[in-house]
Structure 1
Amino acid sequence: MDWDINGQSNMTLSGKITQYFTLIVFTSLCFGFFIFYFAIERATMQSAIGKLENLNHVIEQKLACTSIEEIQQQHPHVKVIRLTEKDMDLVDEVIREGNYEWNEMLQTMVNHVTVTTYPFIGDQHYSIQSQISLTIIDDDYFVGIAMTIAWILVFIIITIIFFGELITRKLYTPFFHLLDKMNSFDVREKKSLELIETPIKEFSQLNELFYKTSEQSIQHYQALREFTENLSHELQTPIANIKGKLELMLNSDLSEQQMIALSSMYDELDKVSSINQSLVLLMSLDHHQVSNESINISDLLNEIISNYEDIISMNGLELNLDIMPDIFINLNPLLAHVVLSNLVSNACRHNVKNGYISITLNSCFLNISNSGNEQEFSNDTIFQRFNKGKYNPNSIGIGLALVKKILTVYNLDISYNFHQKSHSFLINFNKLHV
């Protein structure tokens, strides 16, 4: 039995089938026990009545040649009476039961069963009443039946558990094989699923469905990969050409108004280039293969901070650093640079005049906090694409979404918190120690 992320047990398919069969058998035997018990009582009663009816028939034959006294001596439990003309209407057989009483000789409760018939023998009308006493099923007998049913139940349950597990595992071999193949399936390897043939119609259909789905996934992945590559190539080339021409025009003799217009166009084009690169990286991360590369994040963080020192100084920001040296984690160097650059840049851009930036790095976590305006986003919405705050409309709104995506690929969690005009981003390293 396995356990899921919520702490709930995950039972195997064969185990679940065995559990249901066991429950069905247990319920059926419980009902069957009572049916069996009352069936025994009824069968015993019907057998006794049948014997008394047969005895009455024998007595009827003997009355033709034997006196009543002799018959009653031979059969003490039979009572024969000659009927008068006033009882001529008595012709139907009468059966009585349920006259329970204690029998001293047998030391148990008995049920007296009587069968009365009214035959005509010659011109004479008779009443023949025969009786038999049946012992009542007592507690010991009841317990004996219950124990028998219980042992049968135990035997059946053991049989179901043992043989049921073997049979279901044999029948579900194609299903388990499919699960193994799907667990190891990687769209980047471009390998088709190799599935075993099965005579079971449902499993055959399931295999066919997953095979078609895997083939479509491979085709879609290749199409997406070609699209991202083509998009990056086709867009970056004309953007670079336009930026080059704008730079030439900016260096020429232009009026102030023209310089402002061209400068604005250059900034917007630079933003388009950044959006293109970020979107391409976001799409490629969906199929990024995690590597075991190790990076000294302490050195990388110090390097990135040094690149932003001029901006920090120009905005009059106070920089508080607590960076432990030589912190190594498993993270792609290029992607690590993207994450740290976006977070540090975000702390600079979404700050206030004469504010502060605090960066703490140790073996457990990285925390980057900064002063800022009122909270605009929650921990869930701040990492969504194209979310731009009203205090910084020039942001492209992809940076934090890119950070979240990269960290998710590497099984890292980043959280956001706002308290007393302080924005804080916390990355936990506990899962990524080398």
Structure 2
Amino acid sequence: MKLLNHVTAYFAAILLVVLTAWAGIFYYNMLDEIYDSIDDGLENQKILVLQKARQDSTVLQQKDFEEGYYKIRPVTAAWAKQHKDLYQDTLMYMQNEKDFEPVRLLTTVFQQGGQYYEMRLITSMVEEDDLIEDLLYSLLWLYLGLLATLLLLNNILLKHIWKPFYTLVNRLRKFKLDSAQPFSSPISKIEEFQLLGQTVEKLLQKNVAVYQSQRSFIENASHELQTPLAISLNKLELLAESPNLQEKELEQIGGVLQNLERLTRLNKSLLLLSKIENRQFAEEETVNLQEVVQNVLLDFEDFFAFHHLTLTQETDTPCLVNMNPDLANMLVMNLVKNAIVHNAPRGFVRVHLSSNALVIENSGQNTPLAEDQLFQRFYKGTASTTSTGLGLAIVKAICDLYSFHVSYQFQEKHRLQVQFK
């Protein structure tokens, strides 16, 4: 959820709570004002009826509400002295509504001509259920109006305010450490955004410097290692061709040559892995993995024959991916090489390519490999002396670079799958 929508959701919830609380307070205050107004009206009606009764004694003969809004009956002096003015709510049948409706009733006592009388006056009231319904609809429309206003402000005002932030994020997404263009933060009048941009800019400048230093160190170290290794290999090969060497000496030279060759492969693999993780393979194009897989399998024909492995391939389906062609070749080559190196004598390798996945299955040891360690550097499922332990680490690095998903399963055979989409 975007920050603006997140803030809007909080505001909407808070606004709903505040309006609900305000509605309750407003409702009871409004009822209190209504009761005060009605009671004042009843008090005024009482005064008018008393004035009318002093002028016309027939007023005292009204015994029922059917003839008006009041009724009078005589009472004893003792009863009258015990009662005061009483305001209360009650129901009365209304002819026009054909139903009982709420009314406000005033019961009072007065004296005229030495006789005490009880008088009851009524007036219509606001129906509370109608009042609540009207208030609810009014508050609902008010809430929706405020919410619409809030959304409008978010999409116009707040988006304009947050524009430097989104500009900064977009520039960060497009920025690459190996880019020749320096990173520049967007200009903003808001102090916090200025501070954020300056901090990010300084941080990236340090990262670029560290990246360039690390890149130079790796390349120089690899080059410096590769040269003495190549010289040592050449000299040992020349030494091995000497006719005066004993068989034991030849075996020792062969062991040294094997270790130096492994060290050479290790040096190249670490350099490759570093370049992948540093995103130095920037060139991308649409690669047909069908051609890549078929070419790699053709290159490894002698290896399959040497290890007496049975190859089964289903690679007739084109598979188009957008990536660096060299990395595509390295991805397939390392997967196939892994299936050959970590296989059983006279085993099998099955290669299946679909439009969105590459699956390679092979025989090998009858126990599953440690899935949580399989793609880590220098992990070896077998004690192979020819393996550097970096093949699947390179595969994982390439998959991470292009957001591919690589997985491992074991069901009486080892199965590696790369999902491209």
Matched, 1:335 2:327: yes
Three-state SS of the structure 2 residue aligned to 1:186 is coil
1:205 is aligned, of 179, 192, 195, to 195
Structure 1 pair 417/152, CA: closer, same or farther in 2 (3 Å)? closer
Q: Which of 396, 401, 404 matches 1:404?
A: 396
Q: Which letter maps to 1:314? A: F
* In 1: Cα distance, 2:7 partner to 2:417 partner: 46
Q: Quick one: which of 111, 114, 131 aligns to 2:104?
A: 111
Q: Give, as a single letter, the amino acid of the residue that structure 2 aligns with 1:344.
A: V
Instruction: Answer yes or no: is 1:281 the counterpart of 2:272.
Output: yes
Hey, what does 1:124 align to over in structure 2? none
Partner of 2:309: 317
| Residue type at the aligned position of 2:276 | L
Summarize deviations over 1:144-190 as a string: whole Å, max 9, x none: 44443344334333333334432222222222222222222222214
Alignment-derived partner of residue 121 in structure 1: none
Does the CA contact (< 8 Å) of 1:282 and 1:405 recur in 2? yes
Q: Secondary structure at the match of 2:178?
A: helix
Q: Give the aligned partner of residue 6 of structure 1.
A: none
Q: Specify which of 387, 391, 408 is matched with residue 395 of structure 1.
A: 387
Judge conservation of contact 1:52–1:130 (CA < 8 Å) in 2: no
The reply on whether 1:266 has 2:257 as its aligned counterpart is: yes
Counterpart-to-counterpart distance in 1, 2:168 and 2:183: 12
- 1:376–1:389: 8 Å Cα contact kept in structure 2? no
Secondary structure of the residue aligned to 1:268 is: helix
What displacement does 1:357 show?
A: 3.0
Counterpart pick for 1:42 among 23, 32, 37: 32
CA drift at 1:363: 5.5
1:256 aligned residue: 247
Deviations 1:310-369 (A, max 9, x none): 443333333444554987765544333433332332222222222233344565554433
Indicate whether 1:226 and 2:219 are aligned.
Answer: no
**1:161 is matched by which residue type in structure 2?**
L
Shift of 1:397: 0.8
- In the TM superposition, residue 277 of structure 1 has moved relative to its aligned partner by 1.2
- Structure 2, unaligned stretches of length 5 or more? 61-69, 111-115
Give the conservation status (yes or no) of the 8 Å contact 2:339–2:361: yes
CA separation of 1:111 and 1:298: change in aligned 2, threshold 3 A: closer
**Distance change (3 Å), C-alpha of 1:238 and 1:170:** same
Counterpart amino acid of 2:23?
A: F
Question: 12-21 or 358-367: which moved more?
Answer: 358-367
**What is the CA distance between 1:38 and its match in structure 2?**
1.5
| Alpha-carbon distance change, 106 to 31 in structure 1, aligned in 2, over 3 angstroms | farther
Q: What TM-score does the superposition give when structure 1 sets the normalisation length?
A: 0.73
- Report how far residue 309 of structure 1 moved: 3.9
Identity %: 26
Look up the match of 2:175.
185
- TM-score, structure 2 normalization: 0.75
- Contact kept, 8 Å, 2:317 with 2:355, in 1: the verdict is no
In structure 1, the partner of 2:360 is 368
> Take 2:142 and 2:294, find their aligned partners in 1: how far apart are those partners?
76
Checking the alignment, whether the CA contact within 8 Å between 2:319 and 2:356 is kept in structure 1 is no
Structure 1 contact 356–370 (Cα < 8 Å) conserved: yes
- Asked if the contact 2:293–2:332 (Cα under 8 Å) also holds between the matched residues in 1, the reply is yes
Whether 2:130 is the aligned partner of 1:137: answer no
**Alpha-carbon distance between aligned partners in 2 of 1:40 and 1:414, rounded to the nearest angstrom:** 68
Counterpart CA distance in 1 for 2:289 and 2:337 is 17
Q: Which residue of 2 aligns with 1:63?
A: none
Q: Which amino acid aligns with 2:103?
A: V
- 1:233 alignment partner AA: H
Aligned length: 399
- The 5 Å alignment of 1:17-96 reads 17-47=7-37, 96=86
Q: Provide the C-alpha distance between the structure 1 equivalents of 2:160 and 2:166, rounded to a whole number of angstroms.
A: 10
Q: Name the aligned partner's letter for residue 350 of structure 1.
A: H
**Do 1:185 and 1:193's aligned partners in 2 also have CA atoms closer than 8 Å?**
no
One-letter amino acid matched to 1:318: T
Find the aligned partners of 2:57 and 2:256 in 1 and give their Cα distance. Answer: 130
Q: In the alignment, is the contact (CA less than 8 A) between 1:355 and 1:370 conserved in 2?
A: yes
Q: Is the 1:321–1:359 contact (alpha carbons within 8 Å) kept by the matching residues of 2?
A: yes
- Give the superposition deviation at 1:42: 1.0
Q: Aligned partners of 2:126 and 2:232: how far apart in 1? A: 104
Q: Which residue of 2 aligns with 1:166?
A: 156
Instruction: Kindly report the root-mean-square deviation, in angstroms, between the aligned alpha carbons of the 2 structures.
Output: 4.3
Quickly say closer, same or farther: Cα 1:146–1:133, change in 2 above 3 A. farther
Letter in 1 for 2:105: H
Shift of 1:131: 7.8
1:402 Cα deviation after fit:
0.9
Answer whether contact 1:18 1:160 (CA < 8 A) is retained.
yes
Cα distance, 1:220 vs structure 2: 2.7
- Establish whether residue 425 from structure 1 lines up as the match of residue 416 from structure 2: yes
Structure 2 vs 1, CA of residues 51 and 417 (structure 1 numbering), >3 Å: closer, same or farther? closer
Cα distance per residue 1:259-305 (max 9 Å; x no partner): 22222122112212211211111111121344234566556555544
